[in-house]
Amino acid sequence: MNATTAIGIDIGGTGIKGAVVNVITGELLSDRVKLSTPKGGSPDDIIATTRQLLDTISQGQGSLPIGVCFPAVIKNGRTMSAANISRDWIGLEAEKRFEAAFHQPIHFVNDADAAGHAEAQYGAAKGVRGVVLLTTLGTGIGSALLNDGVLVPNTELGHLEIDGHDAETRASYSAKEKDNLSWEKWAGRLQTYYTTLEKLFSPDLFLVGGGVSKSYQEFLPLLTLQTPIIPAELRNNAGILGAASLAVQTAPPAPRRQDM
């Protein structure tokens, strides 16, 4: 097994993306392939689509470590929540189910945590000391808390209750779309959200990810915060890169010669 190469898979509510990654440099070594998430998002259907994806991207590469990121709290390989995905995943031994299907170790991680780890390894948080808080603004809000580049997993700060609301129902990008908000109106909600995070965590840096972060000029300049706030760098690849990198860091050591 080549410990510099791994496969990252990013499972989301609408798409499942994956690629082979050089985990030292953060380069993609294959095309990034995206398939639609099967309707209903049941574990068996998602495993079937992941199989199709793996067949496409890992041709001839042998068995590489596989990391999977997923929009849920992940505890000891189990998916423990399901905010925007089928409830069948709650409490599921996801890692074990995938390992049984693919006959190899698989590492599961929360999607925003994967993105945060990737930014620390290869992107906007690389070499940044202190507390960095990444939020991804998409269908929901994901969060990753890093201190000196080390991840504290499963912070789920999209579900902070603010003014009686689950924060992601007000401030996610899908809330902007659903409520047909202008950039200015949405920025008002983001102001409330980031001010709350600032009070709670006194971060040194905010990173903003998710698809809308490519339009950061429309809304980040409208925010007034003590903390610098900048777009994340790795865009669509962040989850894939972070999942692949964590799969290698947590892969069991290769057998020693005398054990073989």
Binding site for ligand BGC (CB under 6 A): 71-72, 81, 83-84, 110-112, 136, 138, 140, 142, 156, 158, 168
Give 29 or 70: the residue with its C-beta nearer to ligand BGC. 70
For residue 166, list its beta bridge partners: 161
Give 20 or 167: the residue with its C-beta nearer to ligand BGC. 167
For residue 22, list its beta bridge partners: 5, 27
- Residue 218, Cβ neighbours under 10 Å: how many? 14
Q: How far is the CB of 126 from ligand BGC (least distance, A)?
A: 21
Q: How far is the CB of 141 from ligand BGC (least distance, A)?
A: 6
Going by C-alpha positions, the residue among 179, 181, 177, 208 that lies closest to residue 193 is 208
Give 50 or 84: the residue with its C-beta nearer to ligand BGC. 84
3-class SS at 36? strand
Q: How far is the CB of 210 from ligand BGC (least distance, A)?
A: 8
Going by C-alpha positions, the residue among 28, 33, 30 that lies closest to residue 16 is 33
3-class SS at 79? strand
Give 5 or 193: the residue with its C-beta nearer to ligand BGC. 193
Q: How far is the CB of 47 from ligand BGC (least distance, A)?
A: 19
Reading the block at residue 237, the tokens are: 């690849």
Q: How far is the CB of 140 from ligand BGC (least distance, A)?
A: 3
Q: How far is the CB of 161 from ligand BGC (least distance, A)?
A: 14
Going by C-alpha positions, the residue among 148, 150, 118 that lies closest to residue 136 is 118
Give 84 or 237: the residue with its C-beta nearer to ligand BGC. 84
Give 29 or 72: the residue with its C-beta nearer to ligand BGC. 72
Reading the block at residue 140, the tokens are: 């929901």
Give 5 or 108: the residue with its C-beta nearer to ligand BGC. 108
CA–CA separation, 130 vs 31, rounded Å? 34
Going by C-alpha positions, the residue among 79, 54, 52, 74 that lies closest to residue 65 is 54
For residue 19, list its beta bridge partners: 8
CA–CA separation, 220 vs 127, rounded Å? 23
Reading the block at residue 258, the tokens are: 């005398």
Q: How far is the CB of 160 from ligand BGC (least distance, A)?
A: 11
Give the end-to-end CA distance of the chain in Å, rounded to a whole number.
14
